[in-house]
Structure 1
Amino acid sequence: MRNDRHSGLWQRCQRTVEGLALPSPFDAETFIGMLASARGRPIELIPVSARPHTPCGLLVTTDSADCILYTTDTTVLHQQHILLHEAAHVICGHHETAPAVSAAARLLLPNLPPSLVQRVLGRSVYSEPQEREAELVASLILTRARKQDRAAPAAPAGRDQQHSRVRRLFGAPEVRAPGCADD
């Protein structure tokens, strides 16, 4: 039974990702811009500093836009995965399914209207299956993007360009040799 459930999730996520248009070369911010255009609703990307015991990414839905908050105190690759994970919540429709406002929320936030509590909590807290689905969709998008980018013909890159790409991938600052002038 457990394998069937995981197999069903894998197949559903694979079909979802196969139906997505990906930019070439792949860039998470460009992809999210394409997603926003396709939906006819803006998605704002908001970089934030990491704080202890807080998530590294968050999707907040307002009346006028969806906002993805993501940690900048990490590698470029991790930032990309965070952005895609939060975008996956949008792709999978998780932002549309809001759980009922709990009695605890009403007790902790008695001065706020239940509709506001529902809107904020209901669109930023996901169930464990939704988190697994978003994580899998994000991973499948990255896998498909890498395959797509490897298959695309690329102009030959010089040694300095290759080093620069590797450094950006791991979030390292650009380093110039002493005495080298800027281009």
Structure 2
Amino acid sequence: MAGRRSRGRLTQVLDRVPLQPPWTVPEFLGWLAEDTGRDIALSPWAGAITEPGTRCGLLLGGPTRFVIRYDASRSVRHQRQQIFHEVGHILCRHPGEAFRPTEGTLTEGLSLDGIEYMMRRTTFDSPTEAEAELVGTHLAVLSRGPIELDAHGELHRIASTFDALR
């Protein structure tokens, strides 16, 4: 029963997306910014880390913007997964926890203006984390290309037609 609800919710969320896959991260975030009426910024974790690949994604938000933190030391595929997991929280309209940002590890290198809440993983088995992971994985699988803002989605869509012919 829970699996059927999850698939139904996934379909409901994905049906809202008007983009033709494969999309790039910048294309998707451009649509999402338009859809939510909020700026969306990508921000790799700043500062030194003791062990590469140990940071998860993080979503910070407020009334006018979202900031998605991700681990740039991971593969591009994993970076997309982290980013789209956080996008899953936005699309599913998960409420974040109230957050009064101060200078520190979570906010290093960021402007703190307008940040009022955050979504961070405190447990791996909560319903919101499972839903964001399901949505995020589907979105990440449908994406291509690098994370940079100048990625050309149209080239990835053209190339995907040749993949289908193999």
TM-score relative to the length of structure 2: 0.64
Corresponding residue for 2:24?
Answer: 27
Corresponding residue for 1:66?
Answer: 66
Q: Partners in 2 of 1:98 and 1:59 — Cα distance?
A: 9
Q: Partners in 1 of 2:161 and 2:63 — Cα distance?
A: 46
SS of the equivalent of 2:8 reads helix
RMSD: 3.2
| Structure 1 or 2: more helix by fraction | 1
Structure 2, gaps ≥5 residues long? 100-115, 145-153
Shift in alpha-carbon separation, 1:144–1:45, aligned structure 2, 3 A: closer
SS of the equivalent of 1:79 reads helix
Deviation at 1:20, TM superposition (A): 0.6
Q: Partners in 2 of 1:156 and 1:19 — Cα distance?
A: 24
Shift in alpha-carbon separation, 1:78–1:10, aligned structure 2, 3 A: same
Deviation at 1:30, TM superposition (A): 1.6
Deviation at 1:23, TM superposition (A): 5.0
Verify the 8 A CA contact 1:14 1:137 in the aligned structure 2.
no
Q: Partners in 2 of 1:131 and 1:78 — Cα distance?
A: 17
Structure 1, gaps ≥5 residues long? 102-118, 158-183
Q: Partners in 1 of 2:10 and 2:161 — Cα distance?
A: 34
**What's the CA shift string for 1:154-179, capped at 9, x where partnerless?**
4999xxxxxxxxxxxxxxxxxxxxxx
What pairs up with 1:16-55 in 2 under 5 angstroms? 16-48=13-45, 51=49, 52=51, 55=55
SS of the equivalent of 1:32 reads helix
Q: Partners in 2 of 1:65 and 1:8 — Cα distance?
A: 30
Shift in alpha-carbon separation, 1:54–1:10, aligned structure 2, 3 A: same
Q: Partners in 2 of 1:61 and 1:100 — Cα distance?
A: 10
Which stretches of structure 1, 4 residues or longer, exceed 3 Å deviation after superposition? 49-55, 98-101, 142-146, 152-157
Corresponding residue for 2:148?
Answer: none
Verify the 8 A CA contact 2:59 2:119 in the aligned structure 1.
yes
Shift in alpha-carbon separation, 1:155–1:45, aligned structure 2, 3 A: closer
Question: Are 2:122 and 1:124 aligned?
Answer: no
Deviation at 1:143, TM superposition (A): 4.0
Verify the 8 A CA contact 1:22 1:145 in the aligned structure 2.
no
TM-score relative to the length of structure 1: 0.58
How much identity, in percent, do the aligned residues show?
Answer: 29
